[in-house]
Every structure is written in C-alpha cells, then in structure tokens.
A and B are shown apart, each in its own frame.
Chain A
Amino acid sequence: MIKSPHTFNSIHKATRRLIPEPGFLLLCIPLLFISSGCSSLFFPSTREDITVDEEYFTIKKQVIIADNAIYQNNRSGLRVRGSTPVHVTDCDIYQNGRTGINLEQSAEVTIENSNVFKNKTSGISTNNASKVIIRDTLIHQNQNGGIRIRQNEQAQQKSTYVSLLQNKIFLNGEGGVHAIADTPAPILLIVSGNAIYRNRKTGLRIEDNIHLTAKNNKLYSNGTAGIASYVTTELPPKLDIYKNKIYFNLGSGIFIRSGITGRIGLSNNLIYNNYRAGIALGLLNQAEKEQVDVEVFHNTIVGNGSNVEGAGIRNDSKGDVMIKNNIIAYNFTTGIMSDGCGGFSYNLLFANGETSNVKPDSEDFSYLTEKVQYSGCSGRQWGDVLAQPLFFNPDRYNFSLREDSPAINAADAIHSPYFDAFPSTDIGAAPFSPPTGPTQERP
C-alpha cells in the first residue's frame, strides 16, 4: 500500500508488471513509503549451516519496480519503508542528491539486475531494514560508498538479513560495503559471488554485531583492506570468510581488529599481492582488549606487503587464534608474525621477508632464513613445511599446486562440520573459481 509518494523529478522507461498473485500493486515511482504489513519470515541462522546462501533469502514479490531510470532527484532515488515486499529490477538509479536506494524500517526488498551509480551519498543504504537481497546489480561511483547497511537501537530485537549476490561494487567514493550493527540483534550478512573493487576505502567493512558469511567474492584494488572487521561495542562480528580471492588491495587482504570465528572462520581464501599484511589480526604491534578469536585454515597467502607492513599473517591480538594448513610465501617482511610465537602449525612457508641468500630454494633453510619466516621466532612449529610450494605459475597469479608440491598431502586434518564436509589433505586453499559478478550487459 502506498502511503504517500515523495518528490521526484523523472521516471524513464516506466513499465508495469503484475506479479502472479492477485491484489498486489505494481508501482513505478521513485520514492515510496510502504507501511508494514507482513510478519517477518523465519530465517535459520547462517552459523548453523555450512552451505548457507541466498536460498534462505527469498522475498515474495509484492511490489515490483522494473525498468525505470530514476535519476537526478534532490534526495534519494528510491525510498522504501515497511515490510511490504518490494522487488526492484532492471532499474538505473543514478545521480540522485542523496542515496540511490534508501531502505528503512523493516523494509523487505529485492534489488536485481539494476545499475546504481553516481549518487551523492551511498548507492544503497539500509537502516533497520528487515530483509534485503541485492543481486546481479552494478553499484558504482557513488560518493559515500556502494552499500551501507545499518542497524541501530530502533531495530530492537529484530535482525536484519542482507544478502549480496553476484554484484559488482566498484569505484565508490568510500568503501564498497559497510555494515554496522550496534544492537543485540545481529545483521546476518551474506556476501557471495560479488566483485568488489577499486573502491576508495575498504572493499567490505563490518562493525559490531554482524554475522558475516563472505564466500566466492573477488575483492581487489580497494584503497585500504579487502575485508575489515571492527568492534565499537561489546559484540564482535562473527566471521565466516571463505573461498574469496582478495588481491591488489592497498591495505591488508583481511584485517580483523575484532572478530570471532563463526562456523567456518577464515578458510580457503586466496590472498595475494595486497600491500600490507595478507591477514592482519589486531592493530600492528598493539595488542588490545578487542576480541580476536579466529581460525585461519587452508588459505594461500602470497606476495603481500610493502615497507609499511608485510607479514603473510600477522597476529598482534591476545585472542585465541589458530593458524593451520596455510601456504604463506613471498610475503614482504615475514611469513607469520604471531604474538607469543605460537598458535600455528602445519603451514608451508617459503621466501617470506628478507630471506638473504642462503639456499632459500632448498629445504636446507638457514637458521636466519627460517627465523625470518616466523618474524624472529625461533624454529618451525609442528608440521610446518619450509620449502618452495611449487605453484603452477605464481608470476601470473596462478597459485594452484603442481603435482610435486610439498604442500600436497601435508595438511593436518581439521575436524569441524565444514572441513568434515569438504576435507582437504593439501596445505593451502582448495582450488576454486569465484564468479565474476553479473554477466548480463547493461544497456
């Protein structure tokens, strides 16, 4: 039901489509206030299912906004409130005075096959929305970031469910995706199959009570970290970050100032050529009270770092961190930099840091070379392999393993629901090909 149409300047290519169910309206207007009407759907916890994906995030199509060009409005291009499901598809939303799409107060919205760009603030902003699915959409060149997801005290005990699927989020003035939930109820955020790149700041940034599942994404060439996790309240984010390809970011590949492992943790990611640490846990050289309890398993971390900072994995936290079965090679300053020199095993390290000229390509590592792998800590840990990983073609960023790689069959078994389902006997990330975002061409 439409409460009141808001100001707007223009609608182009407006078309109407009726959804199959009778009695629902199809509306093509730039700004909507939609009253609440439907009760919330039940969504199982993402932590409890290792194959959590967009299937749990389906919204009935009750209001459809399709084939519109919504642009150059003084305020938001499209504003949705209330729980009446809204489906936005094939729209171009651009150059609006504020947010391209603004979703508020229990909004249930699906956005797909759209192009949201050059808006004055965020491309898409959600504030205490209920359920949001953004799929196959281009979100770019928005001045204050691509997607901003917020849940504050007004949300009370309701969680926000946000699913970002196969989008391209790029060239935004701030970060690509920024989610904040300073409430007891978490935001359940699924980020899957997106390409997030060339944003001015972090590709994907989360703060506080977020349950993040990020998989099969490509995050590259962002101005700071690829993925960053922070806390400002007492509830740190829960993290399941796996099968992502994170590279060429000017900050760390993954930076976790605070966070705890969800079901999977940080696993099977390919993290290379980021210009700070590959994975950074805690602030550099400043162990703080923030909770960092994460598991870092089966990642391939290659060639990260610069003079500023450059460990393959840096752990400056006081938390419970487990680092296992990772390939860590060619990183700038060191392989593993772990506070207390512990918490890691069964990793393959090679040519990290200033390795000097003592047979770095053989297994006969000198003491100094070995020490550099561990940032000054003495000796390798149980199950560690110090040898050339024998990537297929690291120069071309092809880090799949050759048959004679010492990483083959060198991993220690990890017993968790995820790794029981997807076991790997090899150190490093399992081969995968993340999707590249929407494939259809925009007009």
Chain B
Amino acid sequence: MQPTGKFFILLFIALFLFQDNCALAEQNDETGSGKSKISTLRIDKDNLLVADSCDEARERYDEGLLLSDDSERETYYYQRAVDLCPGFVAAHTRLAEVYKNQGKYILSIEQFEQARIQALSSNQFASRSGSRALFLESAISLGEIYRIQGQYERAAQEFSKALQMDPDSMPAQNNLQYGYKRMHRYDDVLSPNNMMLVNALFTRISGLTRPRGTFRFDVQYRTWDQTGTLTDEMFDDERIQLSIPPSERKTNVTVAIAGIRYGLTNDLTIGLIPKYFSRTLEIELAAFDVVETPTVKHFGDTELLFKYHVWGERNRHLSVYTLFNLPTGKNIRVLGEEPLTRQGQDMDGNRIIEYLDFVRYIPFGSESYDVTPGLAFTLGLDPIILQSNMQYRITDGELIGDEFLLNGAAMYRVNPSVIASLEMNYRWRADVRRKQQVITYALRPDFILRERIPAGAVVLDTNYTEFGGHTLFISPGIQFTVARGVMLEFGMQIPVIRQAEGVTEDIVYHVGLSVMTF
C-alpha cells in the first residue's frame, strides 16, 4: 500500500475514534457516574492526541460542574471543553444553560443549536435514549429564552416541540400555558381538562349551573325499537277483552331533542328542551293479512328547566331542579293511510265489501302540566368525574304515568379530546291508563259478540292500562371535543333489566352535539 493510502486510513480511524470518545464522555455525564469509560476504549496510538483532547475536555467539564454557579469561570471551563472536544454535547448544553442564566441569550441559543448538531452528527448519541432527554431539555431551555425575550410564539413552538417528545413534561406544560396566557390566547389555555363542564350522555342534568350570561346548546338524536304487549286484560271493556288476541305492538321511535340552557344568574339556570318524535308503528292485522307501518311525527312535550345551585365547593356541586312539562305533545290518533278492504258476505249471504280503518292513539305527550322535581350532583376526581341525578315526574296518570329516574355516570378522560363514559340509568314507570278506540267489523264473529253489535263497522271507545315496571340500562358512551366547547357524542343504552309488562325498549342509540359558550 502506498504511504498516502496508509495515511488516509489512519486519518479515518482517528476521526472515528474521536467521535466515539466524545460521545462516550457525554454518556458518562448523563448517567452521572462521574467515571469515564474512555480508558476502556481501544485507542490507536496515532489517535492519542484526539483522545487526550476529549479526556482533557472531560476534566474541564467536571471542573465547571463543580462550580455550578453560573460564573464566568464556569463558562470558561465549558468553553474550554467544547474547544478541546467539539462533539462534547453535554458541555455544549451546560454552556448554553450557563449563558442563559447569565442573560447571554444569543450565545445560549448558539450553544443549544451546537448541542443539537453535535448530537445528530453522532450516531452513537442519536441511538441512545439520552438523546431524547437532550432534545427535550434543549427545546425547553430555548423556549424559556424566547419567553424571557418576550417572543411568545417562538417559545410556544419550542414548548410544543417538547410536548411532542414528552407529553408529560411539566416544564413544557407550564411554560406553554403561561405563554398562551401572555398572548391572550385563552382559547388555547382552556384545555379539555376542565371536565366539570362535561355532561354525561344520558345523565344530562349535572350538579353545576351555567355561569351567568352563558349558553349551552345541545342537539340529540336517539332511535330505538320498542315492543309493547297487547293482551285482553289490559282493556277495561270486556267486549274487547274477549275479542283481542294477544299481540305485540312494535314501534320504531326516533326523537330529536334540542336543549338550550342559559345562566340567568350564577346559581340559577333556566332551560328549554323541546322534543320532536317520529314513530313508525308496525301493526299486524291478521284479518286482512297485512302489516301496516304508519309513521307519525309530532312534537312531544317541551320541558322547561329551572335549576338552582344550592351548594358547591371545588369539585363538588349540588343542584336542585324542576322540569315543568309544557304539553306541546298530544295524544295523536293514528289511522291507516287507506281503509282496508276485502270481499265478504253479509249474514244473508250477499256479497259485500268489508272495510276497516284501524285506529291507534299514540301519546306524544301527557296533555297536562306535569312537574318533575330532581336533585343533581357532580363530583370531580380528576381524571374521573362522577355525575348523578334523580327525579320524579308527577303526572295525572293519564297518557303518561309517573316516572322515577335515577342516573349515575362516570366519565374518564382518555386523552385531551376524548372522554369515555359509563352510565347506569334506572327507571321506574307507574301504570297508566290510556284511551283506545277499536273499530271492528260486525261480520267477523270471532271479533265481537254477535248479539250486541249490529252489522257493519263498530267503533268502541275504551281504556286500557299500560303497565309500568322497572328498567335498568347500562350506557357506554364516548365524547369527542372537536373544537373548543364543541363536543360530539355517541352512545347507547343497553337494557339489562326490562320491565315484565308494558312497553320495553331495545338498545337506544344516541348521537349528540353540544356547544357551550363562555
């Protein structure tokens, strides 16, 4: 091999070891062992000069560390260290820190940049977990410098970088929030951690009241199938009892609920909660061999909310409330779209056309001014918030019966923009008497008593009892913060205990959107 070639090979090895030594020196510093492993390296005699330089740099660095007083003398030691061993990242970092503490911000920034460059250029350093800590520390320190200089935007960038590297970095969290406040960017300050302002999906009334002059809007969409048994013992009229075969009443219910709440005073919230229903009935008419599925839409009752914050401290709040029922919903008479017809014969054997127009009454409201007193409680145990309420609806027992609700919700913040919730919703309903109209056709002897009903269509107005009972739902849900104060929510109510009689629901699906103003 030519001498020139040997020279370049040796030079290459020397450079390689030079980088190794400096990187290892940094590693030793980070572990805090204070013992250099450089002596264990295999150092070629041709590279002794480089190794000695980094050894000496290490000594200077230690001397500076012994001072740790941000003095000029400490600065000198680190400066000497980086002069001797430019790849000595820890010395760059510490020098930058000292410059920062001395108020020499430009020099400090330069040194932090150097530390980053040297760390990136060292493969060994970059592969170590310590590199992350270095970059984190560097970002925080740079952010602090920009903060001190009043450059909040740049500071925020650095702290955001730091949080990307370590979301739990407390200095980064602290300084970023401070910067936002100083920039008057309070929208950024208001993190979703303010969980006390969150409502559960089905336990919607919380122990908190709205601040004075602020609104909360929400829109909910729920849909479910429900089934009601229809048996003869439900009816008062014994003629119906004998003529109605047991059957099921299936209904698909969709309801849109729009709520608006306003803080009248700091402790008094009023709200208006109108509802709009769409019900699709599935009516099997065995006599005509058809299944009617009429859909009827109408407003339900509207609730007027008065909530008063009776007690609260820190994370515990208690409110009493009353829901006044405004009877905007009616007992809707549902008819088939067209009269049902079929060919038949009268008692004399003459051919006739039988027709039937079925009638159902669907209560969209109670048609009375009911009152529902309740109690709501909220407890924040960050990151969990517990919310519960109970209420009793007092009715006249017609159309809509008394109802007791006991709701409890636990919400957990999965991450800053996602809240998972689990609720238990208990409901007891009283029996209720509803009126019903039955139209029968006299020619069907199995329907009615022959001797008491004349031929042709017969209309019977009667009442029946809709049985109540106990129902328990388990309700998982999830809420997403899509913008400040705007939450999108999805959930379902799964009935785990259903009432034995009367109307029972299947799974209730829920989608909602809520918007809060501050």
Contacts and interface: CB of A to CB of B under 8 A. Distances in A.
Contacts, number: 124
Interface string A371-388: 100011110000000000
A161 interface: no
B278 to A, nearest CB: 37
Given A118-B34, A306-B174, A308-B170, A441 B314 contact: no
Interface stretch (B37-45, B78-86, B182-190, B250-258): B182-190
17 contacts: A118-B34, A168-B69, A273-B174, A276-B170, A306-B170, A332-B177, A339-B314, A341-B313, A354-B190, A356-B187, A356-B190, A357-B186, A367-B266, A371-B211, A377-B313, A395-B148, A442-B66
A127 to B, nearest CB: 27
A355 B150 CA distance: 21
Interface stretch (B191-199, B331-339, B353-361, B472-480): B191-199
Given A357-B190, A395-B147, A141 B181 contact: no
A376 B211 contact: no
A170 B213 CA distance: 52
Given A303-B174, A367-B212, A170 B190 contact: no
Contacts of A141: 34, 65-66
B65 A354 contact: no
A274 to B, nearest CB: 9
Interface stretch (A8-16, A104-112, A358-366, A407-415): A358-366
Contact of A367 (B149, B173, B263): B263
Contacts of A285: 381
Interface in B211-265: 211-214, 263
A375 B68 contact: no
A170 B68 contact: yes
Nearest to A308: B170
A378 B310 CA distance: 11
B189 A354 contact: yes
A377 B34 CA distance: 51
A21 to B, nearest CB: 36
A344 interface: no
Given A307-B168, A354-B193, 17 more contacts: A168-B68, A273-B175, A275-B174, A303-B174, A306-B173, A306-B174, A307-B173, A307-B193, A357-B187, A358-B186, A376-B312, A376-B380, A377-B312, A377-B313, A395-B148, A397-B148, A441-B71
B171 interface: yes
A139 to B, nearest CB: 11
Interface of B: 32, 34, 65-69, 71, 73, 147-150, 168, 170-171, 173-175, 177-178, 181-182, 184, 186-187, 189-191, 193-194, 196, 211-214, 263, 266-267, 309, 312-315, 317, 380-381, 518
A304 B491 CA distance: 38
Interface of A: 115, 117-118, 138, 140-141, 168, 170-171, 173, 197-198, 248, 250, 273, 275-276, 285, 303-308, 310, 330, 332-333, 337-341, 351, 354-358, 360-361, 366-368, 371, 375-378, 394-397, 436-437, 441-442
A157 to B, nearest CB: 40
A378 B132 CA distance: 44
Contact of A378 (B148, B178, B266): B266
A163 to B, nearest CB: 22
A376 B147 contact: no
Q: Which of A198, A368, A394 has the most CB of B within 10 A?
A: A368
A358 B313 contact: no
Contacts of A330: 178, 181
Nearest to B32: A173
B192 to A, nearest CB: 9
B181 A341 contact: no
B212 A360 contact: no
A263 B34 CA distance: 44
B191 A354 contact: yes
The 5 closest A-B CB pairs, nearest first, are A306-B170, A275-B170, A367-B211, A357-B186, A306-B173
